[in-house]
Structure 1
Amino acid sequence: MALSEIKARRRSDYKFQLEYRTRWSDNDMYDHMNNSIYYFLFDSVVNTYLINHCKLDPPTSTQVGLVVHSHCDYLAPTGFPAIVDLALRVNKLGKSSVTYEIGVFERGTEEPKAVGEFIHVFVERESMKPGTTGMKEDLRTGLAAIQSSGKAKL
């Protein structure tokens, strides 16, 4: 995806949002949110969505999501005491995998501070391999609800 396309993202491009109040400890010595915190936030918004909208119960689920890829494009700094909104959508939904896009927006702005990508492959907990039927139906249905195209790709 071109950087110009990433910079053009707006809140309305995402179907799920989660508020995060930055903490003093999120800042680094350069007085902005440390890059490692962005990855913590990506994990948090994705798992909040999976638990609340896809019926995933991480301690007991027979399927688990393994992160196989992640990256972040940092566009502008943010940091304590900002309130940021983590905006989530699904860009690609496969048989066992899902590609998420996460926009980080500071409260009151429409331009993203960062845009990240996070890919999960859902595997069976026991074998750590994708199941023959792919991800569970509740998971697929919940993820399809926030897919950018509105249709699941098999």
Structure 2
Amino acid sequence: MAQAELKKRRRSDYNFHLEYRTRWSDNDMYDHMNNSIYYFLFDSIVNTYLMTHCALNPPISSQIGLVVHSHCDYFAPVAFPAVVDLGLRANKLGKSSVTYEIGVFERGQVEVKAVGEFVHVFVDRESRKPRVDGMGGKIRGGLEKIIASEKAKL
């Protein structure tokens, strides 16, 4: 998606939200949140959603999600002591994969600071191969609740 479109994102474009209170250690030598922290946040909101809305329990589940792609478009910096609001949606839902989009907003500001993409492929824990039934009903059912549009379902 074009950066100009992503830059127009608003909190209402996302169906699930999570708050993160930045820490002093999140800042880098340039006095803003280090890019690696954004990926930490992406992983946190995605896994919070999977565990609370899709019945996924990573330490014991027979199925796990492997990250096969990720990227981030940065629009404006965030720095400690900011509180950020993360927004999550699914832009594409396949048989065993999902493409998430994560918006990063600073509390009290309308403009999106960054938009990330994160792709999971759900696989059997032991074989590391997708299962015949894909991601399964519980995971799919939870992810359908945050799908961006009906056209995105395969």
What is the TM-score with the length of structure 2 in the denominator?
0.98
CA shift at 1:153, angstroms? 1.6
Ranges of 4+ aligned residues in structure 1 off by more than 2 Å: none
Give the counterpart letter for 1:92 in structure 2.
K
- Tell me which residue corresponds to 1:3: 3
- Tell me which residue corresponds to 1:98: 98
- The alignment yields a C-alpha RMSD, in angstroms, of 0.9
Given that residues 144 and 152 in structure 1 are in contact (C-alpha distance below 8 angstroms), is that contact kept between their aligned partners in structure 2? no
What is the TM-score with the length of structure 1 in the denominator?
0.98
Please, which runs of 5 or more residues in structure 2 have no aligned partner? none
Aligned mates of 1:57, 1:144 — CA distance in 2: 18
How big is each residue's C-alpha offset from its partner over 1:103-126, in whole Å with a ceiling of 9 and x where there is no partner? 000001121100000000000011
Identity of aligned residues (%): 75
Question: Counterparts in 2 of 1:41-80, with a 5 A limit?
Answer: 41-80=41-80
Aligned mates of 2:139, 2:38 — CA distance in 1: 24
How big is each residue's C-alpha offset from its partner over 1:25-72, in whole Å with a ceiling of 9 and x where there is no partner? 000011000000000000000000000000001111111000000000
1:148 aligns with 2:151: no
Give the counterpart letter for 1:125 in structure 2.
R
Given that residues 69 and 120 in structure 1 are in contact (C-alpha distance below 8 angstroms), is that contact kept between their aligned partners in structure 2? yes
Aligned mates of 1:57, 1:151 — CA distance in 2: 29
- Tell me which residue corresponds to 1:110: 110
- Tell me which residue corresponds to 2:135: 135
Aligned mates of 1:65, 1:19 — CA distance in 2: 23
1:17 aligns with 2:17: yes
Match of 2:112, SS state, is: coil
Given that residues 124 and 131 in structure 1 are in contact (C-alpha distance below 8 angstroms), is that contact kept between their aligned partners in structure 2? yes
